[in-house]
Structure 1
Amino acid sequence: MAVVVGSLVIGIDAGGTASKAVVTDLSGAVLGRGAAGPGNPSAAGVSAARAIGSALRSALGPLDPASVTAGVVGVAGCSALADPGVAAAFAAEWAALGLRCEIPVVGDAVTAFAAGGDWAAGAVLIAGTGAVAALVDDLEITRVADGLGWLLGDEGSGLWLGLRAVRFAARRWSAPLARAVAAHAGAATADDLVHWAQALPPFGALAPLVCELADAGDPDAAAIVADGAARLVATLDELEAPDAPVVLAGGLLSADTPVRRAVQATLEGRGATIGTAGDPALGAARLALRRSQ
């Protein structure tokens, strides 16, 4: 039996690695959390809707979905919702959950920005599985840089770092970084590594290894990290808003990584105001509450 506790607000952060959901009351107190698989519809298609629905079911638990009065979903790759099949899958998931209110889907840059500070306008730089920078004004995206996917961009992202490490290893097989990459891939030879890479494994899973080796002083890993950080700053600069506060978001920029430290040092050297997105799912819930008032 569903438990009715008054009006509820939901927030969801769905990216290329995981979908996370939070349920709060109208005061912002967290009542439940849930997580599931990848929720980027550009990469996962209709299965993204199922993952997001699964995360929300876990967050709601015994709470009554009919009590949800507001919600926001922040999604990486939300442009894929223009696909009728993907849009229908999301609509079907909301109906199956028993939600009765409209649940707007926005770019994950909006919810990340909302999770990083109280500013109404500014910039957000995200580096997780992918990478994107966006200008946000009145909680709407007004300009975007990169976010083009790993084939065309996402420079400085976790996937970009991992792919750079694999490319390096295939050419410099005797280097310590190459041996670490080979161990990750289970490759005994460079040809084995090439065969492994052609199957398009999750290259982003190598990003923590690259960061760890960079922190340990490996010069090749450090060079990849430095290049990635420089590319992220260059992406931010494409927004042409040097005086805007900047929220750093995504696994590579919200945690203490060598990528974040390099980006932060550059921005601090410019005198930038910097915030960190602590919990994008909670930021989505706060955004939903703000929009409903």
Structure 2
Amino acid sequence: MTTALLAIDVGGSTSRATLVDHAGNCLGQGRNRGGNPGSNPPDLANAAIVAAVEAAIADAALPGLTIELALLAMAGPKFKAVQDQLETALKALGLTGPVVFTGDLQAMVASVTAATNGYCIVCGTGAGAVRLRDNELDAVIDAAGWLLGDAGSGYWLGHQAARAVTADLEGRGEKTALTSAILGDMGIELNDDRLPDGRPVPYRHFVDTIYAMRPIELARFAPMVIANRTDPVAARLLAQAEDYLVQDFSMVFDRELAGPVVLGGGIVAHLSGLQSRISEIMRGAGQVPDIRLVQDGSVGAVVLALRSAKVTVDEAMVQSVITSIAAHGLRARA
């Protein structure tokens, strides 16, 4: 019989489950679509998380596997009904211990450092910033979900891009390369045909398609904003996203609290001036900038799961987890 810890990195677009032993060795991994109930229908969110766990268990292929503890690193609001359903489902898969919930920004920090003081800025499907003090959340800005916040996030970029395309098609906004890029991605022909009411046919097709999507799916347009960053409209959106994140950091930054600044999420690396602007704020407070980019947020979920199981995690352990997960991924692709 093998006892494992289960760490689940739950995002708005992707859920990743990792099984590890108490030394942080990766035993199995699985992934599925977004499992965040704040940005996905609760039933679909639960199903995605469970499917990712099932894939991790199948990948581990260990007879008699029991799961001592499950930790979920998740952005945004938590829903009690979803938690209860998820706990029942995980117990059916071999969970014998508790289900622990923590924030995705805490997991981001733990993905690159064992430091218990510091900062994290995340910009993926969602966005926000936190300050950690003695391994506890000391301040949080934004990370409020797509409906109420996440300014500068992948969702925000996609939403703003869709609004720009709508304005372009109707002739009340600036021409932008995002129009052809996004319509092409959606399979909508860009032409000059008009409806009886005078509106462009592509406009009507675009609007109908957008309203048939779940709101969070607008994040799919963010990569097109990045790919067309020389377009004036796209450039302004990226600049505004960067401004939002700098503002978030400024609000959580404490000039008396030194520590690394961790940047995570699929969008953050494409905000070209972000690191230099953060460095400027830190230097102005007399601190030496230590900015680290997260490559794999699931590492932090594992680190937090280990800590929840009373395992002492130092810098060497964090590096060991990073190495083990990367090696497992390479074996899986071989």
Query: Same fold judged by TM-score > 0.5?
Result: yes
Q: Does 1:75 align with 2:42?
A: no
The question of whether the paired residues in 2 share the 8 Å contact of 1:71 and 1:285 is answered with no
Structure 1 residue runs of 4 or more that deviate by more than 6 Å after TM superposition: none
Q: Which residue of 2 aligns with 1:12?
A: 8
- For residues 68 and 87 of structure 2, the distance between their equivalents in structure 1, rounded to whole angstroms, comes to 17
Q: How does 1:120-199 map to 2 (within 5 A)?
A: 120-173=116-169, 174-187=175-188, 188=190, 189-199=202-212
Q: Among the aligned pairs, what percent are the same residue?
A: 30
Q: How does 1:1-293 map to 2 (within 5 A)?
A: 4-5=1-2, 7-44=3-40, 45-61=42-58, 62-63=61-62, 66-77=65-76, 79-81=77-79, 83=80, 85-173=81-169, 174-187=175-188, 188=190, 189-201=202-214, 202-214=217-229, 217-242=230-255, 243-253=258-268, 256-257=269-270, 259=271, 261-270=272-281, 271=283, 272-291=289-308, 292-293=310-311
Shift of residue 56, structure 1, vs aligned partner: 1.4
Aligned residues: 280
Q: CA deviation at 1:232?
A: 1.3
After superposition, the Cα gap between the structure-2 partners of 1:89 and 1:47, relative to the gap in structure 1 and judged at 3 Å, is farther
Shift of 1:218: 2.1
CA distance in 2, matches of 1:195, 1:169: 13
| Mapped contact 2:67–2:94 kept (Cα < 8 A) | no
Deviation per CA, 1:183-236, whole angstroms, max 9, x where unpaired?
22334423332333333451100111110111xx22221121111111111122
Distance 1:98 1:132, change over 3 A: same
Secondary structure in 1 matching 2:8: strand
Amino acid at match of 1:181: I
**Separation in structure 2 between the aligned mates of residue 46 and residue 142 of structure 1, nearest angstrom:** 32
- Check the 8 A contact 1:248/1:275 in 2, yes or no: yes
Measured on the aligned residues, the alpha-carbon RMSD in Å equals: 2.1
Cα distance in 2, alignment partners of residues 95 and 190 from structure 1? 48
**Structure (1 or 2) with the larger CA radius of gyration:** 2
Superposition TM-score, scaled by structure 1 size: 0.87
| TM-score after normalising by structure 2 | 0.77
Q: What are structure 2's unaligned runs of at least 5 residues?
A: 170-174, 191-201, 284-288, 312-334
3-state SS in 1 of match to 2:95: coil
Shift of 1:15: 0.9
Distance 1:165 1:65, change over 3 A: farther
Instruction: Give 1:66 shift.
Output: 4.8
Contact map agreement 1:158 1:207 (CA 8 A) in 2: yes
Q: Return 204-213 or 184-193, whichever deviates more.
A: 184-193
Distance 1:64 1:281 in 2: 24
8 Å CA contact 2:70, 2:95 repeated in 1:
no
* CA distance 1:138–1:39, shift in 2 (3 Å): farther
Task: Judge conservation of contact 2:7–2:72 (CA < 8 Å) in 1.
Answer: yes
